[in-house]
A and B are shown apart, each in its own frame.
Chain A
Amino acid sequence: MRCWYRGMRPRWRRGEQQPESLTALARSVRDPDAFQEFYATNVERLLGFFMRRLFDPEAALDLTAETFAVALERRSQFRGTADHEASGWLFAIGRSQLSRFYSRLRVEREALARLQITLPELDEQISEQVGQFVDIEALRAEVGAAIASLPMEQAYAVEQRVVLERSYSELASELAVTEQVVRARVSRGLRALAATLDQVAVGERAR
């Protein structure tokens, strides 16, 4: 039984118009299609964020997808009112996903699996598309310029892997360590460079 009195607004009304001032993320709770707008607004920056830290198109793509999948599942939890708050909320999820990646060195596609979203196997063509999209060559140049600030082992690993694009297995063989060790050195090196690279990225967009 429902009861209304004059002057009392029901707590929830189906089909109520969403004011346009709400962020696309907030609107997507009632209007599923608004999530695409939120995705289009943030996908480039998010992918670039992961690429600057990993220089691995496959991992960056996986993390981007998993981050948006988690955001889709949790979108009703977002309490902000501005687009930049929605982006910040998304990037907080992304940083959490990145942190898990650092500890496991693999992407857990849990939310993607729950939503039954599949990514294609990364071939050379797709890898090239992603690289061009985030201007990976420019990122490599930035890394090359910043690398001198790193400890020697990390600087070498990052330079060989990111700038010269040598494989993990090749480097592991040369350095007589496991691939896991090489990945960890590259990962730590890129994390240390992240703040510098983010500033450069922001500066370029501002020009």
Chain B
Amino acid sequence: MSRPDELPPVLTELGEQLLQASREVAARRQDERRRRRRRLQAIVSALAAIVVPSGALAVAGAFRDGQVLSGDPAGGESPARDPDVVSGSAVADPDGGQYPWALRIFTSAGGRECILVGRLQNGRIGRLENGSFRAFERDAPGACSDLRRQSLVLLSATYVDIDRTAIYGFAVGSDSVRVRVGRTVTRVKTHAFGSYLVVVPSIVDASEIKVTATIGGRVVTVPDP
């Protein structure tokens, strides 16, 4: 094998130019991957607003652990509260404001537990359009899992227009989870069905997120380290 210091100058210079080109090609590919992810995340965020019929599962608020919101029938001019929304899961938006984030959990027709994240108002979850709240339809789709087989579920959704990433899922049988985003670790309590929710004020690549919980006496992490 030729060591660089044995090569004639013209070949050494060629090697250095190839190295520079190699770095530039890698940087361009990384930029393109980031742009593709952002485009995909924007599409996913838009699709999250599409309504799909499914079952329902409730999520408790962050302020009263374990309490499941009971459904209140709509009365008068107020829209009915959604019995599947776990108001206890509510977390304030990093900028504050009147629309915290919360989870809706329901059981699908296929018997799987489904989870949906959105902004919370008056016991209903939805999205913000031009600053106005629009509730999701009752049959809005969620991400569904078979919690009899998967005890720790990690989901993330990014909202590129408002620079937010929602990290949520299930940790069945665990009263809290540790959410790692890059080097930052946050411990959050779980709610109904072991659900959890964290909202981060930036666009986070999914590869930077890990969740750890103690389930059945074992420390479990997803993705696998």
- Interface residues of chain A, those whose CB is within 8 Å of chain B, are 1-10, 12-15, 28, 30, 32-33, 35-36, 39-41, 43-44, 47, 61, 64-65, 68-69, 72-73, 115-120, 126, 129-130, 132-133
Inter-subunit contact B15/A129 (CB<8 Å)? no
Q: Within 8 Å CB of B155, what residues of A?
A: 1-3
Min CB gap B136→A, angstroms? 15
**Cα of A116 to Cα of B145 in the assembled complex, Å:** 50
Extra pairs beyond A30-B26, A119-B14 (11, CB < 8 Å): A3-B143, A4-B153, A5-B150, A5-B222, A6-B222, A13-B223, A15-B207, A36-B19, A61-B14, A73-B25, A117-B14
Residue of A nearest to B222 (CB): A4
Interface SS majority for chain A: mixed
| B contact residues around A30 at 8 Å (CB) | 26
A12 to B29, CA, bound (A): 14
A126 and B209 alpha carbons, distance in the complex (Å)? 53
**Chain A residues within an 8 Å CB radius of B21:** 69, 72, 115-117
Contact yes or no, A117 B17, CB < 8 A:
yes
**CB-CB contacts of B151-192 with A at 8 A, as 1s and 0s?**
111111100000000000000000000000000000000000
Q: How far is the CA of A115 from the CA of B24 in the complex (A)?
A: 9
Asked if B18 is an interface residue, CB under 8 A from chain A, the answer is yes
Q: Does B97 belong to the interface (CB within 8 Å)?
A: no
- Which B residues lie within 8 Å of A43 (CB)? 2, 7, 11, 14-15
B binding-site residues for A, Cβ under 8 Å: 1-4, 7-11, 13-15, 17-19, 21-26, 41, 44, 48, 143, 145, 150-157, 205-209, 220, 222-224
A6→B18 contact, CB < 8 A:
no
Docked Cα-Cα span, A44 to B14, in Å, equals 13
Q: Are B154 and A3 in contact (CB under 8 A)?
A: yes
Which residues of chain B are within 8 angstroms of A119 by Cβ–Cβ distance?
10, 14
Contact B15 A1 (CB under 8 A): no
CA of A188 to CA of B151, assembled, Å: 70
**Interface pair A69/B222, CB less than 8 Å apart:** no
Distance (whole angstroms) from the CB of A67 to the closest CB of chain B: 11
Say whether A1 contacts B48, CB under 8 Å: yes
Given contacts A3-B153, A41-B1, contact A32 B19 (CB under 8 A): yes
A5 touches B153 (CB 8 A): yes
Given A40-B1, A73-B25, the answer on whether A129 and B10 have CB atoms closer than 8 Å is yes
Q: Decide: B2 and A41 in contact? CB cutoff 8 A.
A: yes
- Smallest beta-carbon distance A129→chain B, Å: 4
Q: List 5 A-B contacts (CB under 8 A).
A: A10-B206, A40-B7, A43-B14, A115-B21, A115-B25
Give min CB distance, B216 to chain A, whole Å.
Answer: 11
Please tell me if the beta carbons of A130 and B153 are within 8 angstroms of each other in the complex. Answer: no
Task: List the A side residues contacting B10 at CB < 8 Å.
Answer: 61, 119-120, 126, 129-130
**Which of B14, B25, B157 contacts A32, CB < 8 Å?**
B25
Contact, CB under 8 Å: B224 / A1: no
Q: Chain A residues with Cβ under 8 A from B7's Cβ?
A: 40, 43-44, 133
